[in-house]
Amino acid sequence: MEKQVVVVTGASAGLGRAIAVEFGKHGAQVVLLARGQAGLDAAVREVQAAGGHAIGIPTDVADPDAVEAAATAAEDRFGEIDIWINNAMVSVFSPVNHMKPEEYRRVTEVTYLGVVHGTLAALKRMLPRDRGKIVQVGSALAYRSIPLQSAYCAAKHAIVGFTDSLRCELIHDESCVSLTVVHMPALNTPQFSWVKSRLQHKAQPVPPIYEPEVGAKAVYWAAHHDRRELYVGGSTVEAILGNKVAPGLLDDYLGRTGYQSQQTSQSDDPDRPNNLWHPLDSERDHGMHGSFDNRAHGFSYQLWADLHRATLVLGACGCALGFALFGMRNGKSARRLSHRAVKLAHRVKVAARHSAA
């Protein structure tokens, strides 16, 4: 673990920062890519404090040349890249009829094409070595779109389509490079304070909300296990499976509740600064958490169960075997008791005849 070289995009704050720190706890050498220098510097210090080694490289993942240059710098510093995690994103909270074409383009370039650029840079280095792991940070919204985030939902859908296609090609080529998509629930990250928004009230993650460390542990696990997709949080499972079973009902439900569930009661200024085109307050560190700590869960029972499938299956099999043996034993005991009862009844009957005589 201590020799692993890991690249994390969007690593200056929020989930990306939590992922970088999680790898740092295991002694990895972590390369952090993001736009904001202050956030990168602070995240590097956190990774090092956790026990890892780290460097931060200011990078806009929408620029493929910048991503390629960052990959080269990463290997120049730490050696061959073992794991590449595509996490960077931007979004716009707005009804479709108020969106602008350039906003769709920008969200697509960062949230979707940023994944493509990162994947291409990783493949360029991993395929000749025939090893490596690429983890795409997905979302429940990659399968179940919601109102007011059309650009982001479309980009997350595209990530799944791109990754599935690439996975088939890797199988065809018998490559040992592997892919996993980790689908996230609503997370308590700073993005809701800097995202571009046209909503009347401040944006919020749709409850239930989880701390970014929950998602980071899932990404770390996925980077070291062969799982096609990993769902984080019961709400993610419900959204994805529910959309497969009854998409029309979810359309109606989200049409009635999706606006309110994504806004707090506090008013917001649509003209406030945002991070769509440039990092917001590049000299300020926004940290890992957003402003919803008092409502966020630090643990997911669903994720724990998903990561411990083998243990749960073995436990269930053990319980089933125990019940079966218990039933067999009780069955034998019941048959012995029945046999004894019959013999006793026969003796009583015989005794009664002798008494009558």
Instruction: Give per-residue pLDDT as tens, 304-332.
Output: 999 998 788 776 676 777 777 766 666 65
Note the pLDDT of residue 282: 62
Distance in angstroms (rounded) separating the CA atoms of residues 187 and 211:
6
Per-residue pLDDT of the chain (357 residues; tens, 9 = 90+): 558 999 999 999 999 999 999 999 999 999 999 999 999 999 999 999 999 999 999 999 999 999 999 999 999 999 999 999 999 999 999 999 999 999 999 999 999 999 999 999 999 999 999 999 999 999 999 999 999 999 999 999 999 999 999 999 999 999 999 999 999 999 999 999 999 999 999 999 999 999 999 999 999 999 999 999 999 999 999 999 999 999 999 999 999 999 999 999 999 999 999 999 999 866 688 999 999 999 999 999 999 999 998 788 776 676 777 777 766 666 655 566 556 655 655 554 555 554 444
Q: Which H helix or E strand runs over 101? A: helix 101-107
The tokens for 74 are 């990463």
What's the maximum distance between 2 C-alpha atoms anywhere in the chain? 112
Distance in angstroms (rounded) separating the CA atoms of residues 123 and 224:
18
Note the pLDDT of residue 283: 66
Q: Model confidence over 55-72: pLDDT tens digits?
A: 999 999 999 999 999 999
Q: HSE-up of 217 (CA within 13 Å, CB side)?
A: 14
Note the pLDDT of residue 317: 75
pTM (2 d.p.): 0.88
Kindly provide the b/e burial profile for residues 266-290, where b requires at least 16 CB atoms within 10 angstroms of the residue's own CB.
eebeeeeebbbeebbeeeebbbbbb
Q: How many helices (H) and strands (E) does the chain have?
A: 12, 14
Which residues are tagged catalytic? 152
Dihedral of CA 190/193/197/201: which sign?
A: positive
Distance in angstroms (rounded) separating the CA atoms of residues 77 and 5:
10
Note the pLDDT of residue 236: 98
